[in-house]
Structure 1
Amino acid sequence: MFLIRTLHKWFGLILGLQFLLWSVSGAMMALLDHHKVSGEPSVRAPVPAIAPAEPVTLARVAEAVGGPIHALKLRPLGEGYVYEAATPTGVKLIDAVSGQAVAVDEVKAAALAVAAFSGPEKVASIRKVETGDVETRSLPLPLWRVEFADKEQTTLLLSTTTGEVLERRNNTWRLWDIFWMIHIMDYTKRESFNHPLIITVGSGVTWLALSGVILLFRSFRRQDFAYVLDPIERIRDERKTKKQA
């Protein structure tokens, strides 16, 4: 019993600190404005693009793609329309008017990001991301990272193949992400809450609860609850006396 009591004390201290971290991180995630976390204030409604009156023929699109096409759709991109063709080698964009291939290069990515950003600030930096990090998570790489010069350091992550805005990041999200990392105890990728560390802590919490139940029955005596039990027994004895009388 001495061993259980000692282990329970130290487990309680260590796991108590983790409980505190869970409580603080959970509270902070709840307090942070979820609209700002998701970047909603930075979203600009897309300007309706004018669909081409006479788009290029599908034969011209197939010629520009130069290979088998698994799927094809006409969609807006920036101020114009493109054909998005899914091929065995990846997605290819074809201008719906000229029939020329459209590359989402640095200039194109910057223009698309500006069009999707609601603020007046200019682009502070743009770079191509080819190695995943905490901001890109599991997004398909490579992608363009376009950061603006606003106080939130709003960052748009755009696909290098389709030009679509895949995610929005800002300082509020980065702060939220720190608390998320602490809450799920994933200090590397910040993605999973099913990993060895949190399973170990969860097992420790289970043991702490079970040992607490054992100590509960071994630590208390009747006199600890005398102020509750004595009046009850007194009333019971009085009732028995009245019945016998």
Structure 2
Amino acid sequence: MLTPKQGRWLRKSHKWLTLFLGAQLLIWLISGLYMVLMDIDYIHGDHLVDDSQLTLEGKLASISPEAILSRYPEATKLELLPTALGPVYKLNLAGKPLYFSGQDGEPLEPLSQQAAMKVAARLSPGNLSGASAELLTESAPAEVGGRHLPLWQINLNDAFDSRLYISASSGELVTKRHDFWRLFDVMWMLHIMDYDTREDVHNPLLTGFSLLALLTALSGALLLLIAFKRGEEEAA
């Protein structure tokens, strides 16, 4: 059993730890609850596209991979990408991507606005009469990052600011975003306490607060045990 002095120190420590961690514990609770309650497929924006339009069938590619590689034997990687305009070969040459039509093997021209809207119309199950397209070449929103530039940003102009991002080089659907995803992203940032990249779940801030939260829980459990012990002794 702790001495009275040790008991006072423990209660005081538990109180200040609880006060210090209270806001973050509430944030963990709210953010975790949101992420658990939301359907992850909805968050990913699966309702915004018809995935059947992206089904990749080998028979749709009239040009074989060997035919493409025979032109560029120094290539390091070759992929066949599914797009709403048909299969596309992506070839890595000297660290740079090249794109070829899987139907005739010709190099792809950059996607025009009309072609980008055509891709969006094929992918989206909804009405795109109010949609607009913007070409992003130098910078992109944080929600998609700049590694995929150039991109066509298709604004669906709905109640949730839904957007499709389509590669201007290949016609490939890069990602989908909407307000519920953006809120999820904020909740994830708050939950893992990575306010920069929102990716590092092993950052020192999260580790430190987690250890303090564990210490708070253990001190509370010890105080509860002492209270029960004291109650039994008084009852005896």
**1:141-160 correspondence to structure 2 within 5 Å:** 141-144=148-151, 145-160=153-168
Contact 2:18-2:216 within 8 A present in 1 as well? yes
Q: Deviations over 1:35-78 (max 9, x none)?
A: 3212121112317898476x599668755x6x733344566544
Instruction: From the superposition, tell whether residues 154 and 129 of structure 1 become closer, same or farther in structure 2 (CA, over 3 Å).
Output: farther
Structure 1-normalised TM-score? 0.71
Instruction: From the superposition, tell whether residues 132 and 126 of structure 1 become closer, same or farther in structure 2 (CA, over 3 Å).
Output: closer
* Corresponding position: 1:36 with 2:42: yes
* Corresponding position: 1:225 with 2:232: yes
Structure 2 runs not aligned, ≥5 long? 1-5
Q: Deviations over 1:171-228 (max 9, x none)?
A: 1211222222222222232222211211111121233234445545666764x2357x
* Aligned alpha-carbon RMSD (Å): 3.6
- Structure 1, 20-29 or 121-130: larger mean CA deviation: 121-130
Contact 1:83-1:93 within 8 A present in 2 as well? yes
Which of 182, 189, 207 is matched with 1:199 structurally? 207
Contact 1:73-1:85 within 8 A present in 2 as well? yes
Instruction: From the superposition, tell whether residues 113 and 90 of structure 1 become closer, same or farther in structure 2 (CA, over 3 Å).
Output: farther
Distance across 2 between alignment mates of 1:57 and 1:208:
60
Distance across 1 between alignment mates of 2:164 and 2:90:
21
Which of 177, 180, 186 is matched with 1:172 structurally? 180
Contact 2:69-2:75 within 8 A present in 1 as well? no
Distance across 2 between alignment mates of 1:167 and 1:119:
17
Distance across 2 between alignment mates of 1:213 and 1:116:
54
Aligned twin of 1:126 = 134
Contact 2:48-2:124 within 8 A present in 1 as well? yes
Instruction: From the superposition, tell whether residues 20 and 120 of structure 1 become closer, same or farther in structure 2 (CA, over 3 Å).
Output: same
Q: Secondary structure at the match of 1:94?
A: strand
Contact 1:154-1:168 within 8 A present in 2 as well? yes
| Aligned sequence identity (%) | 26
Contact 1:129-1:141 within 8 A present in 2 as well? no
Contact 2:85-2:171 within 8 A present in 1 as well? no
* Corresponding position: 1:85 with 2:91: yes
Instruction: Work out which of the two has the higher radius of gyration on C-alpha atoms and give 1 or 2.
Output: 1
Aligned amino acid, residue 100 of structure 1: E
* Corresponding position: 1:135 with 2:135: no
Contact 1:62-1:69 within 8 A present in 2 as well? no
**1:29-108 correspondence to structure 2 within 5 Å:** 29-44=35-50, 45-46=52-53, 51=60, 55=63, 68-72=74-78, 77-96=83-102, 99-107=105-113, 108=115
Instruction: From the superposition, tell whether residues 100 and 171 of structure 1 become closer, same or farther in structure 2 (CA, over 3 Å).
Output: same
Distance across 2 between alignment mates of 1:168 and 1:128:
15
Task: State the Cα distance separating 1:168 from its structure 2 match.
Answer: 1.2
Contact 2:75-2:93 within 8 A present in 1 as well? yes
**1:226-241 correspondence to structure 2 within 5 Å:** 229-230=235-236
Q: Secondary structure at the match of 1:101?
A: coil
